[in-house]
Amino acid sequence: MTDPLSQVIALLQPRAVFSKPISGAGRWAVRYSAFGHPSFCTVLAGSCRLAVDGHRPLTLEAGDFLLLPATPGFTMSGFEPATPERIDPKLTPAPTAEVRHGTRGGRPDVRLLGGYFVFDSPDADLLVSLLPAVMHVRGVERLSLLVRLVGDEAGERRSGRDLVLTRLVELLLIEALRSTPGEDTPPGLLRGLADPRLAPALRHMHANFARPWTVAQLAKTAALSRSAFFERFTGAVGLPPMEYLLAWRMAVAKDLLRREDLGLSEVAERVGYASASTFSTAFSRHVGQAPSRYARAS
């Protein structure tokens, strides 16, 4: 059956942009304003503190991996008190060499490899909202290896570089998501998939999103009553079942309209609508413009 996580990552269309080594020593702290794009890092050696806005502070240690799908403001620092240097990543030019915080020269207290990428999907906000805002994974060597591969590839200008970076970032996202305990995450896709009752329903929805599902039919796949399923799904995923299904259908429809030379009737059929007019009405209500206009603009 179709894997919802793989579908979400494919639809997000991640594209690698930048990677850099980072180190810190002595008294240091940096305050980054909200960036919006996804960012990641792995700790190569040592440790430091990280405080992401709206979340409890973390201690990052060697072997840790961090992913922020929509990077909010955050402060990174050593363990001694220091006044943060303020950085706006939208205005500050991307450095071309290692970024050093605190004491210059000598052995650093922490070494990281970090970077950011972008999502090309027009539905990035919707899809990112289904993911945990902070993914902190400890002791998964494959993630550290993938970040190092991203760093190596980003630093070279070899043939096929863009494609290799895109695939590495896709792997990085999938590995981070499946290494994050779903039970401990806020409402979203991971938490829904971690629920043994809801996971079959979500997989059915993603595998057959064109099917005219009802809440009763989905509740049956979860072996729950209609009301119990509705309440449990809404609480775990953050959207009611039919609203989630509609959002997913429209995300797929947008992708088809942008990327493939398909007629309106064929797109409508692929996402579960009996006629082009019914699909056009639903799409216009959800997106704010007619599908034909959206296709031309894209």
222-236 pLDDT, tens digit each? 999 999 999 999 999
Question: What local confidence, expressed as pLDDT, does residue 273 receive?
Answer: 96
Tens digit of pLDDT for each residue in 120-141?
Answer: 888 888 888 888 899 999 988 8
Residue 268 has pLDDT above 70, yes or no: yes
Cβ density class 2-29: b for 16+ within 10 Å, e for less: eebbebbbebbbbebbbbbbbbbbeebb
**What is each CA distance from 58 to 114, 137, 297, in whole angstroms?**
16, 11, 43
- Per-residue pLDDT band at 2 (split at 50, 70, 90): low
For residue 292, which of 275, 269, 276, 272 has the smallest C-alpha distance? 276
Residue 1 has pLDDT above 60, yes or no: no
**What is each CA distance from 191 to 178, 199, 227, 232, 234, in whole angstroms?**
11, 9, 19, 11, 11
Beta-carbon neighbour count of residue 179 at 10 Å?
16
Name the pairing type of β-strands 29-32 and 85-87.
Answer: parallel
Chain-wide mean pLDDT for the chain?
Answer: 90
- Which residue shows structure tokens 């919802």? 4
* Cα Rg of the chain (Å, integer): 21
Residue 38 has pLDDT above 60, yes or no: yes
Torsion over CA: 58, 60, 65, 67 (sign): positive
Question: What local confidence, expressed as pLDDT, does residue 199 receive?
Answer: 94
Which of 11-15, 26-30, 267-271 is least confident? 11-15
Tens digit of pLDDT for each residue in 186-207?
Answer: 888 889 998 999 999 999 999 9
For residue 180, which of 170, 159, 194 has the smallest C-alpha distance? 194
CA angle (179, 240, 237) in 5-degree steps: 10
Residue 158 has pLDDT above 90, yes or no: no
Residue 94 has pLDDT above 80, yes or no: no
Residue 157 has pLDDT above 90, yes or no: no
Question: What local confidence, expressed as pLDDT, does residue 23 receive?
Answer: 96
Residue 91 has pLDDT above 90, yes or no: no
Question: What local confidence, expressed as pLDDT, does residue 24 receive?
Answer: 96
